[in-house]
């Protein structure tokens, strides 16, 4: 039916993406990621945070990686400000998502303070994948709402469950945090620069761990990002130099043949 | 009390950057260098955090069941498993290695 009415043009077909398809996309992401709030609740309670503290984090911070980072740093004995700084730096990427989303969604100013809390990896991913403004707004809203509700509900259940489970480490739940980080990190490691940043950050993070106060090594490891940018800039600069230099010998080689013979003739 | 301070600072900071993204005129942060840094910063932080939460115990480096769990998560990622399955693989393998190792 749709094939009969829709023109063969794919962009036009995309533009007619039915609301039900957008909702399906949004629910898929919202439910899958929302359920992992359980892992956060357990990890948070296992790290020594109270039920209220765990729930406050999911309600107020609502950006998973920052939450895991904060409870990890607090469990490791970091002071509250270095722990918060690490979590904050992880949250900075949301500002860049917001920039893209504000253009795509064109939200009224009054709605923005409310929508802001939902500006995270997953809502951005779903919104960017939609063809029209209507679909984007729908995708953002459904993903945001589903994820927010489920993430908070499962945080509560996880934090409650952690007590029932007893020793959360015996259940391997201390591996949930790093697995979440790895899952978020993996798709970012596409180019050599990204891999170099990750490698250097691991070395800094682990190498400085025994000698610096808890939480500080991660912040120092963040320097891998600007360092890699400087190195990239240098390499690009030197690459341009190399190209210039390799051009020169070519040019002189070309001129050298006759020039050399001219000189050798002079020598004679 | 310390925990509440950390929660308060994190919640405020994280909300402000989200809102800033929606309110700031695009050209203010559109500079390529800023965008590039913003893309690389999470890479560095996530890599360092993954390593620390896998290989650290307090201030000492250790190799324990978590490493096996992380390896399982990596395999699941390579096989393009969904997010929840990746986390589940890490948890199950870590618990399994601990159960076997006593």
What are the residue boundaries of the structural domains of chain A, listed by start?
A: 19-188, 191-245
pLDDT of B10 > 90? The answer is yes
pLDDT at A29: 82
Q: Cα(A263)–Cα(A205) distance, rounded to whole angstroms?
A: 61
Contacts of A29 (CB under 8 A, 6+ apart): A122, A125, A126, A143, A147
Nearest residue of A to residue B60, measured between CA atoms: A210
pLDDT, one tens digit per residue, over A119-134 is 998 899 889 888 999 9
Asked if the Cβ–Cβ distance from B69 to A94 is below 8 Å, we say no
Nearest residue of B to residue A199, measured between CA atoms: B47
Give B 2-41 residues with CB within 8 A of chain A.
2-7, 9-11, 13-15, 17-24, 26, 29-30, 33, 35-41
pLDDT, one tens digit per residue, over A228-253 is 999 988 888 876 655 444 433 333 33
pLDDT at B29: 65
pLDDT, one tens digit per residue, over A42-77 is 989 988 999 999 999 999 999 988 999 999 899 888
Chain centroid to CA A180: how far? 11
Q: Cα(A247)–Cα(B14) distance, rounded to whole angstroms?
A: 50
Asked if the Cβ–Cβ distance from B22 to A177 is below 8 Å, we say no
The reported pTM is 0.75
pLDDT, one tens digit per residue, over B19-70 is 998 998 767 667 888 888 878 888 998 899 899 989 998 889 999 999 999 9
pLDDT at B102: 55
What are the residue boundaries of the structural domains of chain B, listed by start?
A: 63-102
Q: Cα(A78)–Cα(A212) distance, rounded to whole angstroms?
A: 10
Q: How confident is the model at residue B100 (pLDDT cuts 50, 70, 90)?
A: very high
Which stretches of chain A score pLDDT less than 70?
1-15, 239-268
């Amino acid at each position: 039916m749709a094939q009969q009415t829709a023109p063969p043009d794919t962009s036009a077909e995309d533009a007619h993406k039915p609301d039900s398809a957008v909702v399906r996309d949004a629910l898929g992401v919202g439910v899958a990621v929302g359920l992992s709030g359980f892992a956060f609740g357990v990890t948070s309670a296992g790290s020594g945070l109270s039920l209220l503290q765990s729930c406050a984090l999911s309600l107020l911070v609502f950006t998973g990686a920052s939450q895991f980072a904060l409870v990890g740093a607090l469990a490791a004995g970091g002071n509250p400000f270095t722990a918060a700084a690490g979590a904050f730096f992880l949250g900075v990427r949301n500002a860049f998502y917001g920039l893209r989303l504000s253009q795509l969604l064109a939200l009224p100013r009054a709605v923005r303070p409310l929508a802001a809390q939902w500006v995270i990896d997953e809502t951005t991913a779903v919104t960017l994948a939609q063809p029209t403004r209507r679909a984007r707004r729908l995708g953002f809203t459904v993903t945001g709402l589903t994820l927010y509700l489920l993430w908070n509900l499962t945080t509560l259940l996880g934090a409650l469950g952690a007590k029932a489970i007893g020793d959360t480490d015996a259940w391997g739940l201390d591996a949930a945090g790093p697995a979440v980080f790895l899952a978020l990190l993996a798709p970012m490691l596409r180019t050599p620069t990204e891999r170099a940043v990750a490698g250097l950050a691991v070395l800094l993070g682990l190498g400085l761990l025994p000698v610096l106060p808890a939480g500080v090594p991660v912040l120092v490891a963040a320097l891998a990002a600007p360092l890699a940018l400087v190195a990239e800039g240098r390499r690009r600069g030197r690459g341009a130099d190399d190209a210039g230099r390799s051009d020169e010998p070519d040019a002189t080689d070309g001129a050298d043949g006759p020039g050399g013979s001219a000189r050798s003739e002079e020598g004679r | 009390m310390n925990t509440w301070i950390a929660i308060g600072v994190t919640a405020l900071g994280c909300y402000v950057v989200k809102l800033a993204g929606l309110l700031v005129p695009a050209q203010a942060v559109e500079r390529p260098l800023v965008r590039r840094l913003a893309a690389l910063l999470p890479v560095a932080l996530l890599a360092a955090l993954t390593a620390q939460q896998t290989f650290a115990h307090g201030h000492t480096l250790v190799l324990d069941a978590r490493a096996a769990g992380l390896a399982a998560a990596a395999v699941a990622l390579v096989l393009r498993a969904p997010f929840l399955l990746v986390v589940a693989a890490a948890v199950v393998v870590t618990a399994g290695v601990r159960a076997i190792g006593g």
